[in-house]
Structure 1
């Protein structure tokens, strides 16, 4: 699964709007829409914020793994 599909699935499974996630990332809704559609690559720091927010590993959110492990604690 591509990361674009994964971030959309996570958002929808948590009943969140693109605007809510855009606010979390301090970006515009249109920019976040472009992330989900694959028009714009999402920056690594934004992926980390999403992984922490959804409490999933970076491997899961980026599509490297299909196992939904929790975000690692320090």
Structure 2
């Protein structure tokens, strides 16, 4: 499931295996193994892929079919901030 998701996301986003391997600091062959299911990324790799594609880890791992966006913490206003602003 993970390999299929990675391939689909890569193709849908117009990226190459070379681009992903550079981003993940690995060889193209090593990245290709992710897509074929012969190798699984560690948690750090999963997080990087989630950020790169702006999808949730649950989506990557096949636990959810909805591509939940990853929120940039710097751009999310907290409830406390809103209260302080009097909103």
TM-score (norm 1): 0.92
Larger Rg: 2
The alignment of Structure 1 onto Structure 2 pairs a total of residues equal to 73
Q: In structure 1, what is the Cα distance between the partners aligned to 2:5 and 2:11?
A: 10
1:27 alignment partner, SS class: coil
Flag the structure with more relative contact order, 1 or 2, with Cα contacts below 8 A and sequence separation at least 6. Answer: 1
RMSD: 1.0
Q: Give runs of ≥4 in structure 1 deviating > 4 Å.
A: none
Cα deviation, residue 19, structure 1: 0.6
Q: In structure 2, what is the Cα distance between the partners aligned to 1:67 and 1:36?
A: 20
Q: For 1:1-74, what aligned pairs fall within 5 Å after superposition?
A: 2-74=1-73
Residue segments in structure 1 that go unaligned for 5+ positions in a row: none
TM-score (norm 2): 0.79
Q: In structure 2, what is the Cα distance between the partners aligned to 1:52 and 1:38?
A: 20
Question: Deviation digits for residues 16-69 of structure 1, max 9, x if unmatched?
Answer: 100100000000000000111011111111110010011111101111000111
